[in-house]
Amino acid sequence: MIIGFNDTALEELYLYGSTKDRKYKKLSKEVVEQYIKTVNYIKSVQQIEDLFYIKSLHYEKKKGDLKGSEAVWINKQYRLLFTSSPNENDIVVNVILKEISKHYE
């Protein structure tokens, strides 16, 4: 899977484990570690449909205000929102990470 970042703070969190961005600066070490693990899960699959088989991620396509986005759980409190797109063979292999959000907020 090819991963891109819509937000430089998300890329910093993934690469360095921390960021100066106010939105994510106060995330606990455990949440950041789980975020990195979640991104690695996404990177490791061959196509987006493979995320269904990793039950702990609770992969879902969003509806309502978040229509067009997809999400996986980082933990019970946080989720990772992203968009995906297919390659020339219509197999979804490109993912753009959008944000970490609190679930139900």
- Distances in Å between the Cα of 78 and the Cα atoms of 85, 97, 103 are 23, 14, 5
The range of the structural domain enclosing residue 82 comes to 2-102
Number of domain units in the chain:
1
CATH assignment at residue 66: 3.30.2310.20
Q: pTM of the prediction?
A: 0.89
CA R_g for the chain: 13
Residue 30 has pLDDT above 70, yes or no: yes
- 3-class DSSP assignment, residue 72: strand
Share of the chain above pLDDT 90, in %: 70
Confidence of residue 104 (pLDDT cuts 50, 70, 90): low
User: How confident is the prediction for the chain on average, in pLDDT?
Assistant: 90
Note the residue count of the chain.
105
CA distance 1 to 68: 19
Task: Identify the pLDDT of residue 66.
Answer: 87
Confidence of residue 105 (pLDDT cuts 50, 70, 90): low
What are the start-end ranges of the H helices in the chain?
8-16, 22-25, 29-44
Confidence of residue 43 (pLDDT cuts 50, 70, 90): very high
Share of the chain above pLDDT 70, in %: 96
How does pLDDT run across 56-90, given as a tens digit for each residue? 999 999 998 889 899 999 999 999 999 988 877 77
